[in-house]
Amino acid sequence: MSEPLRIALAGLGTVGGGVVRLIEANADLIARRAGRPIRITAISARNRGKNRGFDATRYAWEDDMVILGERDDVDVVVELVGGADGPALALARTTFEAGKGLVTANKAMIAHHGLELAKRAEAAHCALRFEAAVAGGIPVIKGLKEGAAANHIHRVYGILNGTCNYILSTMEDTGRDFADVLAEAQAKGFAESDPSFDIDGIDAAHKLSILASIAFGTTIDFGAVDVTGIRRVLAADIAQADALGYYIRLIGMADVETDATGQTRLFQRVHPHLVHRDHPLAHVDGATNAVVAEGNFVGRLLFQGAGAGDGPTASAVVADLIDIARGDIGAPFSIPAAELEPAPPADSGHRTGKAYLRFTVADRPGTLAEIAAAMRDAGVSIESLIQKGRVEVAGESRALVSLVTHHGPESGIVEAMRLLDGSPALAEPPLVMHILED
C-alpha cells in the first residue's frame, strides 16, 4: 500500500472531534477505499487540555494553527475553525503557499474568498475541497461536480439551514410562536446563543452562493444574494399556510438567465416560501437539509439528509480526504477559476409567480379597502383574502390580514408595497413570502 496521506487538523470542536473519531474508528476501511492510509500527524485548537473523548497526545500539537500549513510532516490541512477571515483565512493562504492541499467546512470563508483560494490552489497544483461546507453530510457538491457534470443546470434550490427548518417545522407541529420555539432550539443545541446567522438567512446565503457557482460556472457572488430570514414568521402565518395547503420553509434559490443583450445574469434569493404539501421539500422536517438541482438531461435531482452534526459533517470531510488520497484534485468549482464567468445580478421584477402577503393593521374601517386599492393600482390580482387573528404590537392589539395573489410579475408586488409604505393603517411592514412552484 502507498505511503499514508498525512493530515493536520485545525479545530477540535464538534466536527473536528468527529473527524478524529471517524478516522480512528474506520481506519482500515478508509485505507482500502483511499488506496493508502489517512493519518493525523498534527492538531491545533484553542484549549489544549480539554477532554474531547480521544487521546489528543497521540498527535503533535501547535498552539498557532497557521503553522500547521508549514509542517514538513503534513500533506493536507483540514480547517474546521470557521469564520470568513482571521486565522482560518491565514491558514488557508499559508497552506497553499506551502504547496499543500486544504479541506474545509467553512462556508463563510468559501463564500467570501472562494475565488481567491481556488486560484491559489490551482496555481500550486493543490486540492481545495469543501463538501462539508454545504448541507453537512449530503454529497451535493460532489453530485453537481461529478454526477451531473454533463448537464446544463437550470436551477438549484432547497432547504439549506437546519436551524430554520427545525424552528419552522416545530411551529407547524405545535402551533407555538417563533420566539418560544427558538428558545427551545437554543436549549437543545439546535441554535446558537446568537442565532442571527441562521435565522436571518446568512448561513443559507453562504451555501447558496457556493452551489450557484458550481452549478452555473459563475464567479461566486455572496453579496448579490437577496436575503430575508424567518424572524417575522408568526404561528398565524403557519396556520394560514396550512389552511391553504402549504407549509412554510426557508428556501434558497438560484438560477441563470440571459438578458436582451445576451448577458448572463444570476438570480440568488434566500426567503421564506410557501411550499405546497405535494412538493418534496414540504416534507423535509426538523434539522434536515434538502437540495434540488434541475439539469437539462438528468431532470430533477433531490439530495436530502442530515445538514449538520459531528457524524454527517465529519463524513463529508473524510470523503474529501479520500478523494485527495486517490489523487483526485480537480478544479474546486468544477471548472478552472479563470474560466468562471462574472454574472451581474438578475432583476427579479419580471419573474412571475404567486405570493402570500400578511399585513398587521389597525382594526378600523377602510383598512381593507386601502390594501385592495394598492393591489389594484399596482396591477396585482388577489386570489384570496383572510382577516383572522390578532397580535400585540407596541402594547396595542392589531388585526392580521393575509392574502394570496394570482400568478403575476413580482414587480407588481414591489409597487404595491411602495404604495402602502408609510400608511398609518399598517403597524409594521408587510411580510411577503413567495409561493414555490415546480
Tell me the C-alpha distance between 413 and 416, whole Å: 5
Residue with cell string 402602502: 420
Tell me the C-alpha distance between 389 and 401, whole Å: 8
207 is a catalytic site residue = yes
Contact 137, 19 (CB under 8 A): no
Q: Which of 231, 118, 128, 238 is closest to 174 using CA atoms?
A: 238
Q: What's the Cα-to-Cα distance from 174 to each of 80, 163, 171, 272, rounded to whole Å?
A: 35, 16, 5, 19
Tell me the C-alpha distance between 164 and 227, whole Å: 14
| Residue 187: partners with Cβ closer than 8 Å, 6 or more residues away | none
| Residue 210: partners with Cβ closer than 8 Å, 6 or more residues away | 107, 110, 111, 114, 130, 133, 134, 141, 220
Q: Is 378 helix (H, G, I), strand (E, B) or coil?
A: coil
Determine which one of 100, 107, 145, 207 is catalytic: 207
Q: Is 406 helix (H, G, I), strand (E, B) or coil?
A: coil
Q: In a 10 Å sphere around its CB, with 0-12 CB exposed, 13-18 middle and 19+ buried, how is residue 182 labelled?
A: buried
Contact 275, 249 (CB under 8 A): yes
Task: Name the residues annotated as catalytic.
Answer: 207
